[in-house]
Structures are given as structure tokens and as C-alpha cells.
């Protein structure tokens, strides 16, 4: 299985219950870089490795993110939100 296929397989396995593929594409989990303190807690908790640090701030790869919302729940400064 090639890298992109493996990521897709992992993403499908971790998709939240009750969320259709269409809804998943319409929702986005985003980081406010003005609020992010760079603690990397979200990086550690992401089930699919969609979050990395860029310039000491969390960055979410939207192609990999499955909207588990684990990152939203653990962010100590509420820098991560869901938006349409």
C-alpha cells in the first residue's frame, strides 16, 4: 500500500461516527496562530498525525485530518476550533 493510500485508510478508520464524507469535507478544524502557544499537546493526541509544528505553531493538514476533535478537547488555550 502506498503512502497516500495508507493515510486514506487510516483516515477512514478514524472518521467520527455519524459524520458523512460530504460533511467531513465541509467541516474544518483550524488553529488560530495568534492564540497557539506551541505546546504540541495537539500533535501528541492526533490519531492520524495530521498536526505538525510550523514556526512553533500547530498546523493541521486538512487532507489528513479526520475531525476527531481530540485536539480541540486538549488545547489548553482553546486555539483550535471547528469551522464550516
Spatial distance between the Cα atoms of 58 and 33, rounded to a whole number of angstroms: 7
Whether residue 19 is predicted with pLDDT greater than 70 in this model: the reply is no
pLDDT digits (tens, 9 = 90+) for 36-70: 999 999 999 999 999 999 999 999 999 999 999 99
Whether residue 4 is predicted with pLDDT greater than 80 in this model: the reply is no
In this prediction, residue 27 carries a pLDDT of: 83
**What domains, with CATH codes, occur in the chain?**
3-83 (3.30.70.20)
Query: In terms of pTM, does the model score above 0.85?
Result: no
Task: Provide the CB-side half-sphere exposure for 22 (13 A, CA).
Answer: 0
CB contact burial 16-52 (16+ within 10 A = b; e otherwise): eeeeeeeeeeeeebebeeeebeeeebbbeebebebbe
In this prediction, residue 17 carries a pLDDT of: 56
Whether residue 21 is predicted with pLDDT greater than 60 in this model: the reply is no
64 three-state secondary structure: coil
Amino acid at each position: 500500500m502506498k503512502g497516500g493510500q495508507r493515510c486514506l485508510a487510516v483516515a477512514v478508520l478514524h472518521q467520527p461516527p455519524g459524520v458523512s464524507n460530504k460533511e467531513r469535507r465541509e467541516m474544518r478544524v483550524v488553529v488560530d496562530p495568534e492564540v497557539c502557544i506551541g505546546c504540541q499537546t495537539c500533535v501528541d493526541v492526533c490519531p492520524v498525525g495530521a498536526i505538525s509544528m510550523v514556526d512553533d505553531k500547530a498546523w493541521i493538514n486538512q487532507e489528513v485530518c479526520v475531525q476527531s476533535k481530540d485536539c480541540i478537547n486538549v488545547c489548553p488555550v482553546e486555539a483550535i476550533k471547528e469551522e464550516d
